[in-house]
Amino acid sequence: MAWIIFLLLSVLCVGSVAAMIISRNQAHNALFLVLCFACLGGIFGLLDAAFVAVVQILIYAGAIMVLFLFAIMMIDLKKAFPPERKRIVRILSAVLGGVFFIELILVARKALLTASGPAAAGAGNAAGIGHLLLTDYLFPFEITSLLLVAAIVGAVTLAGKKEPS
């Protein structure tokens, strides 16, 4: 049962990214990406990370992609975008991508082979994450809030009123 869900979700995921690559319409790209993130949320759920799965859908698929869609609307380009023209870039990216893929598989194999360690008890829920966030990872937690403030201020400044040209 889990297998089927996994296959379905992963095919959808990869397929939507592939479609994103193929499609020339920016809005279409964004929507495909929403689909991808939603499927990823499902996969996270399969991995017993319930909290993260929900957060993924809420924030990534919900907030960030909506932000992208708004940006697309504001940019409002009429023409479509053909893909990369220069042959050298296409070839090089294909070659390097292939090599990279192989390398990463090898690394993954190594990582999986040396996987070990005791299983901690009942950690995948919100309570467990919250506990960690406020004890061991308190400092990053606080810094992240600072980061968010900085991002907000930056965004407001940058995208604010049009400067008089």
- Give me Rg for the CA atoms of the chain: 21
Residue 8 near another protein by CB under 8 A: no
CB of 32 vs another protein, minimal distance in Å = 9
Residue 66 near another protein by CB under 8 A: no
Residue 97 near another protein by CB under 8 A: yes
CB of 88 vs another protein, minimal distance in Å = 9
Pairwise CA distance, residues 90 & 108, whole Å: 26
CB of 128 vs another protein, minimal distance in Å = 5
Residue 35 near another protein by CB under 8 A: no
Residue 94 near another protein by CB under 8 A: yes
**Tokens, residue 128:** 């467990």
Pairwise CA distance, residues 42 & 100, whole Å: 27
The CA distances from residue 62 to 56, 58, 79, 93, in Å, are: 8, 5, 27, 31
CB of 52 vs another protein, minimal distance in Å = 5
Residue 38 near another protein by CB under 8 A: no
Neighbouring C-alpha atoms within 13 Å toward the C-beta of 114: 5
